[in-house]
Structure 1
Amino acid sequence: MKYSTSVTADSAAILTVGDRDPELSEKLDEALTAFNEAATGTAHGDSFSVKVTDEDGELVGGLTAWTWGGLCGISLLWIREDSRGHGWGSKILQAAEAEAVRRGCDRIAVSSFTFQAPGFYQRHGYVETGRMLGIPGGHEDVHLFKRLAV
């Protein structure tokens, strides 16, 4: 669903609201990355992933992350339900931390909803730095941080 409206009677600009726009997301990412690099003097790093598949090639679990100025940010970490409790989360996290160090990072950050796995990260040496309230069901988004051994 989309609709458009003029911003002001004097403006030629048009405000549009609608579903996700991949082209807009790409342009915003490019513009904000350029702004951040100019403001910090630090070039944006790159993204990477860690993936585990079973003997049939099906996804067991994985992680996506990004790097920037010595910081690694974990975007997503997921393990298939029937593979949880077998150590895959720890192996994937350790592989991501090692890759972050290889890419020049000395710290790593992640957020995890209270119904997900903040305790998992804490058991791996991450410390809570804050929470975002208002997650559906009365939950919170826990922000965690860890210094990496380089």
Structure 2
Amino acid sequence: MSTGQQPPVSASLQVGGKDDALEQRLDDELTAFNARATGAGDPVPFSVRVTDSGDELVGGLTAWVWGSLCAIDMLWVREDQRHAGWGGKLLRAAEEEGARRGCTEAIVSSFTFQAPGFYQRRGYRESGRTEGIPGGHQDVHFHKALTAPR
């Protein structure tokens, strides 16, 4: 009786440091698998940045769009400019860009020592937590429905 599975190949397992070629191959393979499974195509990255008059970075955000999903990867504001509204402006710009690109949902996560309240105040609802973050912290996962651009 055949299960349709191939027997494992003879291979060696190796543990090493950062491997850019491996990372790219895994990204390519998983992106192709995800596209076949969802029909959503490849994720498309984008960024939002704020610079001061001297062209120094005040803050920035990286994100990606995949089908109808906008995922915020990283959001950072320079320490001397925190609480000046830049975080909210960066996030709003990313949400608007995601909606412009057809997204109806946004996701983001924040460690408990970072800014989970920031996202909650901007309409994100907690959708889960991951334990085991160093220092006894958690990774808080958030979701928000986006509105179509006006």
* Corresponding position of 1:87: 85
**3-state DSSP class of the match of 2:29?**
helix
- Backbone CA RMSD of aligned residues: 1.2
* Corresponding position of 1:97: 95
Q: Which runs of 5+ in 1 are unaligned?
A: 1-9
* Corresponding position of 1:109: 107
- From the two aligned structures, give the one with the greater strand fraction: 1
**3-state DSSP class of the match of 1:13?**
coil
The amino acid of 1:37's aligned partner reads A
Query: How many aligned residue pairs are there?
Result: 141
Output the CA distance in 2 between the equivalents of 1:112 and 1:37. Answer: 27
Q: Does 1:14 align with 2:12?
A: yes
The amino acid of 1:113's aligned partner reads F
C-alpha displacement at 1:75, in angstroms?
A: 0.5
C-alpha displacement at 1:11, in angstroms?
A: 5.6
Output the CA distance in 2 between the equivalents of 1:40 and 1:87. Answer: 37
The amino acid of 1:15's aligned partner reads L
TM-score by length of 1: 0.90
Q: Does 1:57 align with 2:55?
A: yes
1:73 aligned to 71, 74, 78, which one? 71
Q: Which runs of 5+ in 2 are unaligned?
A: 1-7
TM-score by length of 2: 0.90
Structure 1 stretches of 4+ with a deviation exceeding 6 A read none
* Corresponding position of 1:5: none
The amino acid of 1:61's aligned partner reads G
Output the CA distance in 2 between the equivalents of 1:137 and 1:36. Answer: 34
* Corresponding position of 1:119: 117
C-alpha displacement at 1:48, in angstroms?
A: 0.2
The amino acid of 1:16's aligned partner reads Q
Q: Deviations over 1:47-94 (max 9, x none)?
A: 000001111111111000011120011000000100101000000000
